[in-house]
Chain A
Amino acid sequence: MLLHYGVNVLIVAASTAFCLAISPHLDLINFIMVYVLVTVSIASFCSLPSALIACLLSVLAFDYFFVPPQFGIVVEEEEHLFTMAMMFVVVIVVSRLTERFRTQARNASAREAQTRLMMELTRELAGARGTDKLLGTATGQIGRLFGFPAAAFLLDEAGLVLNRAGAAEAFRDLPDAEVVVRWVLANSQPAGLGTRNMQESAALYLPLSGVGGTLGVLGVRPPKDASGFPPEQLHIIETLARQVGLMLEVERLEGERVRARMEIEAERLKTSLLSSVTHDLQTPLAVIMGSAESLMAVGEEMTPRERRELSENIHDRAARLSRLLGNLLRMTKLQSGTLKPDLQLQPLDEPLGAALSLMGKSLAGRAVEMDIPPDLPLLRMDAVLMEQLFLNLLENTLKHTPPESPVRIAARRVGPDVEVEVADRGPGLDDAELEKAFSLFYQGSASSVQTGERKGYGLGLAICRAIAQVHGGAIRAEHREGGGLSIRVTLPAPPGNASLPTDGANCAEEVS
């Protein structure tokens, strides 16, 4: 500021020196023009006070050096007094004008910055999929931008206010938070600090509304001493709340769409189950009923060998039916979502080992090559389901490959996932079958090794896929290099490094 004044004084002095230098040749009016030029220039660059000071200096210098009597303050002619007054007026007007332009320019660039900020925030929000992520991003943005906590509140299915994201602890000591949140949900209007409703609250609550109504509430808590929010902050927060509201609605509609699609899927599954299952149930039932009835009718006349054979067939088919029903039940439950997997961190060896020991006798005579690295991370798995998955894969291998052909079970880390491979040296599958093999009730083509006794129901791999999917993973079949089939199960490794506990580590904590 002082520098400004100094520079201005110097400019006025330089102008005076310039005018003195040219004074012998020119008329008085020209010096006025020089001073006006200088003061207007100063006024357009500096604030009003410094412009006025420069103006005063110019008038004094003009009066002293040029207005007769020269080198005296007294003004003889009224005409010159008027000139000096006009100089003041011009400087004031120009100064006010430039001041206004400058404010407008400042506002424009501030608005631009705000728009850019909103665009960035919106872009970040758009990348957030799922309600929790969306709300987390929005509250995080407010915290990051303004440095005070924000939280999002939703009603859960039971109608309770639920803190879904953000700084919950910042609102825990506000006893009125729940009341205000409910009020905002009911009225779809902002409430709390700085609004017209429930102003005594220490935080601001904004509705997160879509077209179809208010879906949630955004709470923002300023520092203790603050009496409100600066308008530009409020503007950003309000805009953000509007955005989030619309996106929440999109999320909800998407959720409804997915649910509707799942219901249709479940319905279709039920129908296809009915028609296929009737067939698959009836063949073993025919064996059971026919054999039992034959035994009842003419059992006494049969040879002991015949009786034994028929009884064995009854037992075998009853066992198959029971397995089939168990699988079907599990399958429908998995697909309809009624069977919720009980996901717990555990090493892969556990379900795999269980499946292998269950297969025990049937695997005898086969070379089973295992390649499980010891540093494999723990995986979130449902022990029962995962054991079923490996059981089905191993049973399939036994069913479709010649006896005594080897089986290889290997696991490795692939990016964020763990991939488990069960591979055989059997006849493998056609290209077209690699994908079809996982569809429900697909029983393989005639080319695969299947005798009447060993024909499957087309359920095993379909169940494997359903199980992999509820674990957030996937399953696919590939040709194995050198012949045979390779089934690869990918399971997501949990974030963080949940590897096997080293000595002294607390295992219970990781498995919780």
Chain B
Amino acid sequence: MSATDSLVLVIEDEKPIRCFLRAFLERRGFQLIEAEDGEEGLALAAEHHPALLLLDLGLPGMDGVEVIRRLRVWATTPIIVISARGKEQDKVDALDAGADDYLTKPFGVAELAARMRVCLRHSATRTQDEQQAVFRTEGLFVDLAKRLVRLNDQDVHLTKIEFKLLSFLVHNAGKVVTHRQILKAVWNSDREDQLHYSRIYVRQLRGKIEPDPAAPRYLLTETGVGYRLVG
């Protein structure tokens, strides 16, 4: 990992949390810069272009969700939210605003580091594979350009909508996508009463790309929030 690839900006007002994050993450090869509130965080992000943001939502002054919105105007830097707000709606709000992942306090540092690595890897592949749009994992292979989906070397035939849904998930692989984001991307709709569409089609899709649809391996459910395609 090069210096800038491992630069992590932590925006968190609780000093003891910044303290152990630094102690742990530095030993795991990350470099940390810290901000106590949203404004300071946005300024540091603009100045240092970190590879990843760790963001608390309950910040003094500007709220964390607002920080995400402002950052997303000019940057695609992956954001992992770390917050004590555990309600589904809070997660959905943060993810809808553009966060990549969400960890509820209290969280394990090992899990945090793992999620950070996933985020960084996907943001790296995302930039490379944007055109090719290939998703490859053990058992599952997707090539969006060739409209090819293979499960255990068997061709899988998808309907138009299913394919559209899968492409959106592949583009956002590793990231939690909300029901609302799926609805917007696949059906180009904002309607509250259609939020269940994604659930119906995800079930269909799982039936085709999951070896055991009842215990999904690739297309995971984030309860009350949305889905995440992992590989």
Contact = CB atoms under 8 A, between A and B. Distances in A.
Contact of B20 (A294, A301, A453): A294
Given A282-B84, A289-B106, A309-B19, A452 B14 contact: yes
A311 B32 CA distance: 21
Nearest to B82: A286
B44 interface: no
Contacts of B110: 293, 297
B39 to A, nearest CB: 13
Contacts of B60: 446, 452
Contacts of A290: 17, 20-21, 24, 106-109
Given A279-B84, A302-B23, A302-B27, A285 B16 contact: no
A477 B106 CA distance: 36
Contacts of A313: 16, 19-20
A1 interface: no
Interface residues of B, number: 28
Contacts of A285: 105-106
A282 B106 contact: yes
B107 A289 contact: yes
A286 B17 contact: yes
A310 B23 contact: yes
A283 B109 contact: no
Interface in B39-91: 58, 60-61, 82, 84-87
A11 B177 CA distance: 121
Interface centre among B13, B16, B58, B108 (most CB of A within 10 A): B16
B16 A291 contact: yes
A31 to B, nearest CB: 114
A452 B59 CA distance: 10
B104 interface: yes
Interface in B1-46: 13-17, 19-21, 23-24, 27-28, 36
B20 A298 contact: no
Contacts of B19: 291, 309-310, 313
Contacts of B17: 286-287, 290
A299 to B, nearest CB: 9
A232 interface: no
Nearest to A316: B16
A267 interface: no
A288 interface: yes
A446 B106 contact: no
Contacts of B14: 283, 286-287, 452
A278 interface: yes
A488 interface: no
B220 to A, nearest CB: 23
A452 B28 CA distance: 27
Contacts of A480: none
Q: Which 3 A-B pairs have the closest CB atoms?
A: A286-B105, A294-B24, A313-B16
Interface of B: 13-17, 19-21, 23-24, 27-28, 36, 58, 60-61, 82, 84-87, 104-110
Given A278-B86, A289-B108, A297-B110, 7 more contacts: A275-B87, A283-B84, A289-B106, A294-B109, A310-B23, A446-B60, A446-B61
